[in-house]
Amino acid sequence: MKVGTFIMIIGTCMFIIGLIMFYSIRLGEVDSSLRLVKNIGTFVGLSGIGVTFGGILLFLINRNEPPIEEHFDA
C-alpha cells in the first residue's frame, strides 16, 4: 500500500474519532472534564482533516506518470 493511501486512512479515522468525541457530549455540559473531551474531539477532528489532505497531496505527488512518447513522421 502506498504511503499516501495509508495516511488518508489514518486521517479519516482521526476525523471520525473526533466527531464521535465532539458529538457524544451535550452542548450545555458544565463539567470541566466533559468540556475537555469535547475540545479534544474538536482538535482531533480538525487535525484529521489536515492529515487526510496531506495524504491526498502525497498520493497525487507520487503518482507514476506515463512517459512522453514523441513520434516524428518525416
Cell of 6: 495509508
Q: State pLDDT tens for residues 3-25.
A: 889 999 999 999 999 999 999 88
Which ranges in 1-74 belong to alpha helices (H)?
Answer: 3-23, 32-61
Cell of 66: 506515463
Q: Which residues contact 56 (CB under 8 A, 6 or more apart)?
A: 4, 8
Question: According to the model, what pLDDT value does residue 66 have?
Answer: 76
Q: State pLDDT tens for residues 24-55.
A: 888 777 788 888 889 999 999 999 999 999 99
Dihedral sign for Cα 30, 32, 33, 37, please: positive
